[in-house]
Each structure stands twice: as C-alpha cells, then as structure tokens.
Amino acid sequence: MTASTRRRRLAVLLTAVALGAVTACTSSGGAVPDSGGSANQEQSLLDRAPVASDADLATSPAAQAIKQRGQILIGSQLDTPLLSQQNPTTGQTEGFDAILGRLLAKYILGQPNVKIVNSTSQIREALLQNNTVDVVLHTYSITPARAEKVSFAGPYFVSGPAIMARKGDTSVTKPQDLKGKRVLAVTNSTGSAMVQQYEPAQVITLSTNSECVTALEQGRGDAYVNDLTQLAGNAQTNDKVQIVSGTFGQDPYGIGIHHGDETFKRFVNTWLEKIQAAGLWQEAYKETLGTVIPGDAPVPPKTGSVPGS
C-alpha cells in the first residue's frame, strides 16, 4: 500500500467517524457514533466487549469506586494520531489507546463512559499519585525506575524506538548516525534516555509529540526519536517528515495504576486477557495502527511478562 493510498484511507476513515459522531454522540469522552463504517465497527466491538460481574468488581476497591462514580478518569493525550487523537469536530478521541480505554470503561461500568485527562510524560506519575486519574493508558513504557513510583498492568503492547527525519533528509538512517546530531525527544520518554548512548551533540526535549514534530519541521533538530507507533501517526498525517529507521530496542507499554494496588492490577490484567482471548484487542489494532503498519495484528504480549509489570 502506498503512502498516498494510506492517507486517502485515513481521510475516509476520519470523515466516516466525524459524520457518524455528529449525529450520535452519547457522553463526553465515551461518545460512540452509531452510524458510519468505522463507527459501526467500533460499536460492534463495544457491543461484544465483556462486562465485569459483581463478583469480579468485588475483588478490587478501585474498580468499585470507579463503578460508583459512573465514569473512569484516564490519563492520556489528545494529539497522537492512531493512538489517542481528539477529533476537532466531534470531540471524540480516536486511536488504539482510546479504544482500549473505552473497552476498559465498558468492563467496569457497563458503558464506555470515559473522561480523558490530558497527561504529558512529565506529570503522569504525579496524576496517579495524587488520584487525579484512575489509570494512565497512553504509550506508557514499563521501566523498573517507573515501577518504583507506579504499578503497571500489562504489558498491553510492545513497540520500540525509531528515528524520524525531514522528508528527503538521508543523513540519519540508523542509530549510529545520531552521533554529533541535534536529537529531539519527548521529555521523560524512554527515547530521550536511550539516544544518549549514541553521543548526540544535543538532546532537545519538549513536552509533547506534536511539539517535537514542529521543531523537526522548523530545523530546530536533525532527527526525532520516539516509539514507532507515535512516529507512524506523524508520518501518516504529515508529508514533511518520514520514518528513516526500524526499531532499535523494545518499549513494552503498560497501564499505569496507583502504586501497590495489586487487586486493581489483577483486575485490569484479567480484563486484558479477556479482550485478547475474544479477539477484540486484535480488532482494535487493525482499525487503528494496523491501517499503517503492514502485516497482521501482532500477538499480544503476556501480562506480567516484563520486569516492572
């Protein structure tokens, strides 16, 4: 599939979602359109999603508190194509992480009622620690250092860092080419730490993915290092940038929860295993990241399979 074909398909997808959602929104963050091709696909997925029994909920005080509130508070971002991006027309967040968030809400509440709390890499630990959010579900790489501050359910996906450059720039095509270059990275991301071993002239950290892309376009950096999933979204929607390397290393994404809450961790892991066994995880992938990344949906990672999870 060519880049132009992918872009046309994404445009059709977004248009279908927008048109459907304009006439059929339900609630903030958890709105689910009831018409349109992609919207119908997600509605079908939600209709088949599991709902926790009273006995399941009784195992986790955190889940019971969310149920009583009637809404789950999810730390995420609104500017990451294919993962979690807000549709400016509908207000709906779209992407792989966004769909998983609604599936988790359906499991706890019986309906996909989600409130997204915009969470940058710098503040997501604090948002969990001060109970501003129930979970952080957005490209949150599991590391031993982070696991000392928060607990992680999952991993729910395995990505890996890759390199983005301006379109046509071939000066950086592999990690070793970063030596002596100005490298952009999101603050507190695993990419910002990983690039140090390649001896860049400078690592320029910015708060968000979109700020890094803008800085790359403006020539304030020579390359941008982030997870392949995030770079794929950028490449899909921006003709001025391109992915120039494969992944180097692995980033297992976890669902951040309050530190030490083992009952909620088991509860979320059980939900993950249920949607994976039912094929819902794979369908969510195909509707989002799978529209850009070639091949079948990957095998979901096993919960608890990496240090810190």
Q: Do residues 94 and 205 both lie within one domain?
A: no
pLDDT at 230: 84
CATH number of the domain that residue 195 is part of: 3.40.190.10
In a domain, 6, yes or no: no
Q: DSSP H helical segments within the chain, as ranges?
A: 3-22, 37-47, 54-57, 61-69, 96-109, 124-129, 144-147, 190-194, 209-217, 228-237, 262-277, 280-287
Using CA atoms, how far apart are residues 147 and 91, in angstroms rounded to an integer?
32
Q: Do residues 149 and 168 both lie within one domain?
A: no
In a domain, 69, yes or no: yes
In a domain, 131, yes or no: yes
In a domain, 279, yes or no: yes
DSSP annotation string for 157-183: EEE-EEEEEETT--S-SSGGGGTTSEE
Tally of structural domains, the chain: 2
End residue of a domain, out of 245, 277, 299: 245
Segment holding 256, helix H or strand E: strand 251-257
User: pLDDT higher for 98 or 6?
Assistant: 98
Q: Do residues 234 and 256 both lie within one domain?
A: no
Q: Do residues 271 and 152 both lie within one domain?
A: yes
Tokens of 161: 């860092």
In a domain, 209, yes or no: yes
pLDDT at 79: 84
pLDDT at 295: 76
Q: What is the pLDDT of residues 255-301, one digit of tens each?
A: 999 999 999 999 999 999 999 999 999 999 999 988 877 678 889 99
Average the pLDDT over 65-88 and give the result.
Answer: 93
Using CA atoms, how far apart are residues 158 and 144, in angstroms rounded to an integer?
16
Q: Do residues 120 and 265 both lie within one domain?
A: yes
Long-range contacts of 206-213 (CB under 8 A, 24+ apart): 207/120, 207/121, 207/122, 208/77, 208/79, 208/120, 209/77, 209/79, 209/80, 209/234, 210/79, 212/184, 212/185, 212/186, 213/164, 213/238, 213/241
CB 186 within 8 A of CB 290: no
Q: Do residues 122 and 267 both lie within one domain?
A: yes
In a domain, 16, yes or no: no
Average the pLDDT over 187-207 and give the result.
Answer: 91
User: pLDDT higher for 1 or 43?
Assistant: 43
pTM, entire model: 0.76
Q: Do residues 140 and 262 both lie within one domain?
A: yes
Tokens of 57: 């909920």
Q: What is the pLDDT of residues 134-172, one digit of tens each?
A: 999 998 999 999 999 999 999 999 988 899 999 999 999
User: pLDDT higher for 55 or 33?
Assistant: 55
Q: Give the position of tokens 């349109």.
A: 36
In a domain, 8, yes or no: no
Domain that includes residue 182, residue range: 161-245
pLDDT at 25: 28
